[in-house]
Chain A
Amino acid sequence: MRKKLKFTLLDALILLAVAALAVYIGYRINVRLHYKWNWSAIPQYLFRIDNNGDWTANLLMQGLFTTIRLSLWATLLATIIGTVAGFFRISKSLFKRLLGRTFVELIRNTPPLVLIFIFYFFVSDQIMPVLGVDDFARNASERTQSVMTFLFAPPRFFSAFISAMVTVAIFEAAYITEIVRAGIQSIEKGQFEASYALGLSWRQKMQHVILPQAIQRILPPLAGQFISTIKDSAIVSVISIPELCFQGMELMAATYLTFECWITITVLYLILTLSLSLAVERLEIFMRRSTA
């Protein structure tokens, strides 16, 4: 039985208030700000026709792709770090527990912006030249370079991209650590005791009993964290990584189309994150069904 939709007076008032607000903001922008809209300039910055007459991604879409690449790799790396640190958090060894806890608390209690600057200006300058990342990217064969460009970033941005990726990954890893720890600790105590009673080793216990159950609980929040990563990745614009937010701001500086650029950026982010949110919702339903 479906409930009949009821539209009360309060609903109507709320709807009216929201609509009035939207109209007022539109009025302010159009009339009071004397803002000259120029939407026709925006599409060419999404896609353009190159010299061969083919459609290629321009500034904004390139930025979006960089955001996607950055978020994907950062989440992957963060999952690895987070899983290790998550096991540390529940380890029997006091030292490992302290290590895990310190990592999580240090990162979670620092503004990501501060973390980004510290990493970009101090850490990456000490580490990247030692590893020879920049030289490697520049001297790689053309084939390797095109693969690198497709998977990560063009050679000239490669080392900056890597340091941004690592920073975002470390930041997200602190949250993933907690997701992993909570996932494992949420498994009923009886499961641990049963595996102990069966004489399973730590590895067998984890592999055959605990993790298969824990992963089902970990996966949905992990997917949610991926969406968070996409949103958080916007802060790497401060270290001039050409992701969506940075490209949008560059475009704004060049064209002075402030409103059009921000609105386009918002829509692009929304398309990305909303579709992922829907996918995560599906995943949650699927997981609930498969456990039931």
Chain B
Amino acid sequence: MRIKSLLLSVDVLAVTTLFLIICFVSPALAGDVQNKLVAESTIEQVMKRGVLKVGMSTFVPWAMNDKNGQLVGFEIDVAKRLAADLGVKVEFVPTKWAGIIPALLTGKFDVIVGGMSVQPGRNQKVNFSIPYDYTGQTIVASKQLAAGFKTLEDFNKPEVTLSARLGSSSVAAAKQFMPKAKLTLFDDESQAYQEVINGKVHAMVGSAPTPAFQALKYPETLFLPIEGTFTKEPIAFAVKKGDYDTINYFNNWITVVAAEGWLKEIKHHWFETKDWESSIQ
């Protein structure tokens, strides 16, 4: 009996204390929390460090090494301008595509500027800015295995095998539009392309424009069964969850550079011309 009443009084005491803490301390705490959030936001850390660490993965023509060992490409231009506008240096962290989200979450870099398309599944893990570009999936097929294939429906058969890059949005697109076909996944895009060039799979699903470039490079083995792209995917910066200051900065930055017409300009350079190709090989 005595023990029980003692426990009861402890309970009452605890609840009262908690109540008092909430009443008196929380207004002061809220201000602290806000200051802390601002100080801890990625953008604030970047300014303090003077370096923006950008996670990316080689993806022609988004990001690639040129002859001088320098990174070039659409995303590289975007990230360089972003850092310049922030007044900080830019540092690229080349990362395997399949592990790029875990690497962001564990703080290997501040932001992914790597042609990452917004997907609900990815959005559960990271926050996205507004889109700064759109891409789409397209398909390049083997002349030998997929002769006469003209629509996506032709590829949607159990005997058809498709290749794609592991963890890319091509995988989701292939599963959505050709659910019956078998999928073989590769760590690198070049391996996925090699597979279709070798005639081991019927077709390769990849982000435009590279499939079209490959079809031009290997006219005797590859062809484009459908015109244009069959998906439209928004491309956005990815940052850690719960960091609204950073998202706000990125969103407004994108709005500004898009209004300038700058994004369109560099998009034209990397995607609609091949002026850059001589600097790669």
Contacts and interface: CB of A to CB of B under 8 A. Distances in A.
Given A253-B189, A253-B190, A256-B193, A121 B106 contact: yes
B95 A240 contact: yes
B95 A254 contact: no
Given A240-B103, A252-B190, A255-B281, A58 B68 contact: yes
Given A125-B106, A252-B190, A253-B59, A36 B218 contact: yes
A275 interface: no
B99 A238 contact: yes
Given A253-B188, A253-B190, A256-B193, A38 B281 contact: yes
Nearest to B105: A121
B49 A242 contact: no
A258 B194 contact: yes
B68 A242 contact: no
Given A34-B220, A156-B93, A121 B59 contact: no
A47 B67 CA distance: 10
B186 to A, nearest CB: 11
B220 A256 contact: no
B183 interface: no
Contact of A240 (B59, B91, B93, B218): B93
B197 A35 contact: yes
Interface residues of B, number: 40
A282 interface: no
Contact of A250 (B53, B91, B94): B94
Contacts of A138: 49, 51
Interface string A246-282: 1001111111111000000000000000000000000
B58 interface: yes
B156 interface: no
A212 B191 CA distance: 52
Nearest to A254: B64
A160 interface: yes
Contacts of A59: 65, 69
Interface residues of A, number: 34
A251 B280 CA distance: 10
A32 B106 CA distance: 45
A36 B193 CA distance: 13
B39 to A, nearest CB: 16
A53 to B, nearest CB: 13
Interface in A21-46: 33-36, 38, 41, 44-45
A121 B64 CA distance: 25
A262 to B, nearest CB: 11
Query: A36, A156, A240 — which one has the most chain B CB atoms within 10 A of its CB?
Result: A240
A138 B46 CA distance: 13
Nearest to B96: A240
Q: In the A-B complex, list the 3 residue pairs whose CB atoms are closest, starting with the nearest.
A: A254-B64, A253-B58, A240-B95
Given A238-B96, A255-B281, 15 more contacts: A33-B199, A34-B220, A35-B197, A48-B67, A58-B67, A59-B69, A156-B51, A156-B91, A249-B188, A250-B65, A251-B65, A252-B190, A253-B58, A253-B188, A256-B60
Interface of B: 49, 51, 53, 57-60, 64-65, 67-69, 91, 93-96, 99, 102-103, 106-108, 187-191, 193-194, 197-199, 214, 217-218, 220-221, 280-281
Interface of A: 33-36, 38, 41, 44-45, 48, 50, 58-59, 62, 121, 125, 129, 138, 156, 160, 238-240, 242, 246, 249-258
